[in-house]
Amino acid sequence: MSLADRNRVVLLEDRVENVSGAEFPLNFGSQDAVFNLEDFENSFDINIVCVTETDIEFDLIGVDASIANALRRILIAEVPTVAIEKVFMVNNTGVVQDEVLAHRLGLIPINADPAKFLWKQPGDIPTDQNTIVLKLDVACEVNRDAAPGETDPKKKYINSAVYSNQI
């Protein structure tokens, strides 16, 4: 298999061709491609496309998809983030269970710089230096101005959907 063929993934109706095997990176079936660090160093290249204050876009050249995915996962794990960790429900009368709602709240990106906080250690009491407290107080109510027989929840109810800007 030529290098040009290996650099192209082919999507067919019922299968995908020209992808490396799952046994180890750079395994193309009948071809003997034992991983060699020196060959990898010679063929590997990073082309930086765009750099901003918050983002970087780059192309990985000469890298197997499994190695690129491993690098992606490492980068994601090493970026410090702020997320909702503990949720206290006082009165949830909605149809979404408390655990599901808490999980969904944890997926909301919080626009806060983690470098400006002290890391809370187990046993530390929450303070304004290591904790953000958010409150969500939304009630879904019938819209009395809605037309009789209205079926659109956005028109029939006030606050039929909850959005992150309501926190």
Q: What is the pLDDT of residue 51?
A: 93
- The reported pTM is 0.53
The whole-number average pLDDT for the span 53-59 is: 83
Q: What is the mean pLDDT of the chain?
A: 80
Q: By three-state DSSP, how is residue 58 classified?
A: strand
The H-assigned helical ranges of the chain are 3-6, 37-43, 65-78, 98-106, 153-156
Structure tokens at 148: 């009789």
pLDDT > 70? residue 19:
no
Give the separation between CA 13 and CA 7, rounded to whole angstroms: 20
47 in Cβ contact with 59 (< 8 Å): yes
Closest C-alpha among 116, 115, 119, 112 to residue 82: 112
The whole-number average pLDDT for the span 99-119 is: 87
State the pLDDT confidence band at 4, using cuts at 50, 70 and 90: low
More confident position, 99 or 68:
99
Closest C-alpha among 154, 164, 53, 149 to residue 108: 164
